[in-house]
Chain A
Amino acid sequence: MKREDKKTESRFFSRRDVLKGAFYGLASLAIPIGSADASVWDAFFQKHFREMNKDEVGAVIDRLEKEYYKKFGKKFDIKTTEAIPGTLFGYGLDLSRCIGCRRCVYACVRENNQSRDPQIHWITVLRFKQGKKWVNDLEEAEKYYYPGEVPEEGYFYMPVQCQQCENPPCVKVCPTQATWKEPDGIVVVDYNWCIGCRYCMAACPYGARRFNWGEPRIAREELNTNVHYLGNRPRYKGVVEKCTFCIQRTRGNPGRYPACVEICPVGARKFGNLLDPKSEIRYIIENKRVFRLKEDLNTQPKFFYFFAT
């Protein structure tokens, strides 16, 4: 009997230790409540972006603006502008004009706050030798070309970025629904919901998604503080990002052209509303030789490569 009692007692003590441990553990978790870092707690319990009401979104934006101010010492203006009814964005890229100068790549980096170190580029310009097999598998693409001048004799160039598929495989595979297609056709990522599993990167047939392998670094004076929650706001280490057709610029009335459209020195890049029969993108689709990349995969890109001449 006595022995038994002792046993129970010792077990009881050990259980108490466990409980104590658990209590202190919880207490340490709870510390942020009430302290200045309550935002950590809020961030942890943030709802899915599409399930939040206006006030909840507003609270998230306030929190993020404070967070960014603390981190970068700059005031950010984070928009959550919704899709304009009656718009479905489409993009055109004139392969007979592109000279492969990469102005678009770096205009995009600047506009969309891509990390400078580790380096992230949303646009990749591919170079192909004329007359070689190319469009099926992109196998002979060269992306590190760096001659003194472009265009080079005997080559042509094809920039690739997110194709904003109508049937996006990346959205299907995301286990947390951190990426989805908006009503205006833009596929977006919520960087506060992404867990960094990179399934979407494996699923994307265009290699358009980028992963933040390290803490993204941008020189303070180069930060663009005009941002959209679903677009170019600063990202975190361990999340996936990609082209959003410059959602922070294009969703407006009037809405600006994307940065890559405006920088392209040869005017190879075209953008507009696919639902507007008078838009230039519709003119291109109806009058020019147009193709979509890897059409046979049924991803239905809204990115149209064309040949104006």
Chain B
Amino acid sequence: MTYARRLVLLIGLCVLFATLAVNNAYPGEEQEQTAATTRRKADPDMPKYVVPPPPLSEGIFPCSQCHEGMEPNPTRRELTFHTEISKGFNHAKEQRWCLDCHNPDDRDKLRLASGKLISFEESEYLCGQCHGTIFRDWKVGVHGKRTGYWNGRKVYRLCVHCHYPHWPKFQPLKPLPPPLKPDHIKYRKLSDDEIPRNPIGDISETVYKYEKRR
């Protein structure tokens, strides 16, 4: 009896932890949820798909709020604002500094090596300059997460939805619990409340939020 109760408690705890882990898994998604999705412009190279807006930091964008009228300073230095970015910066650090991607004159834009300005909504062109093979795989749907319909409309993710641009390595996650060993099977009829709950809820609520907001 006490053993069964302990088991239930253990399962309960596992479920609780797992739920916490899942809730923390996609830190960017909360803000994305409130914004509308954008439809990619016709590009002969790319299949028809939808990309959610980028996870811009609230209160920070548009950059021109502060940068308007500020003299651009290209020197590598310890920043006095955006401190966590200059401290944690780890993206080919030796070869790159802010203005290699951010446009010095109009800060609300990104700048390609060619000098062409692009918006934050299409930042994949910027990433694709260096990560050409990954960009190619992404376009055909092999790199990165996609949801939607295998024979219809697909929802892509921008590079920056999974890779924070200033330290792009995919961040580790807490795994969900391992399977129970076969000896957990006992003859006991659990009441409805005792049945272990699944650590992942209805996926239509978890992953379709982009599509619902159309």
One digit per residue, 1 when the CB lies within 8 angstroms of any chain A CB and 0 when it does not, for chain B 159-202 equals 00010000000101111111111001101011010011111111
- Within 132-182 of B, Cβ neighbours of A (below 8 Å) are at 137, 140-153, 157, 162, 170, 172-181
A143-B178, A263-B206 in contact; A254/B152 too (CB < 8 A)?
A: yes
Are the C-beta atoms of B178 and A262 separated by less than 8 Å?
A: no
Are the C-beta atoms of B195 and A219 separated by less than 8 Å?
A: yes
Q: Does B22 contact A (CB under 8 A)?
A: yes
Are the C-beta atoms of A254 and B195 separated by less than 8 Å?
A: no
Are the C-beta atoms of A119 and B180 separated by less than 8 Å?
A: yes
Q: Does A218 contact B (CB under 8 A)?
A: yes
Are the C-beta atoms of A99 and B151 separated by less than 8 Å?
A: no
A256-B150, A267-B145 in contact; A143/B196 too (CB < 8 A)?
A: no
- Give the residues in chain B near A271, CB-CB below 8 Å: 150
- Give the residues in chain A near B206, CB-CB below 8 Å: 107, 263
Q: Does B61 contact A (CB under 8 A)?
A: no
Interface bracket on B = 35 or more
Are the C-beta atoms of B196 and A117 separated by less than 8 Å?
A: yes
Are the C-beta atoms of B179 and A273 separated by less than 8 Å?
A: no
**Contact stretch, chosen from A13-21, A53-61, A108-116, A168-176:** A108-116
Interface of chain A, main secondary structure: loop
Q: Does A296 contact B (CB under 8 A)?
A: no
Interface of chain B, main secondary structure: loop
B205 to chain A, nearest CB (A): 11
- Give the residues in chain B near A214, CB-CB below 8 Å: 185, 187
- Give the residues in chain B near A215, CB-CB below 8 Å: 189
- Within 111-167 of A, Cβ neighbours of B (below 8 Å) are at 111, 116-119, 121, 124, 143-151
The residue in B22, B151, B189, B192 that gathers the most chain A C-beta atoms within 10 A of its C-beta is B151
Are the C-beta atoms of A217 and B195 separated by less than 8 Å?
A: yes
Q: Does A4 contact B (CB under 8 A)?
A: no
B22 to chain A, nearest CB (A): 7
A72 to chain B, nearest CB (A): 11
**Contact stretch, chosen from A23-31, A188-196, A280-288:** A280-288
16 sample A-B contacts, Cβ–Cβ < 8 Å, listed by A number: A99-B172, A102-B176, A103-B200, A119-B196, A222-B198, A254-B153, A255-B152, A256-B150, A262-B203, A263-B203, A265-B173, A267-B143, A267-B157, A280-B140, A280-B141, A283-B141
Could you list which residues of chain A lie within 8 angstroms of chain B, going by C-beta atoms? 92, 94, 99-103, 105-107, 109-111, 116-119, 121, 124, 143-151, 213-215, 217-220, 222, 224, 250, 252-257, 259, 261-267, 270-273, 279-280, 283-284, 288, 308
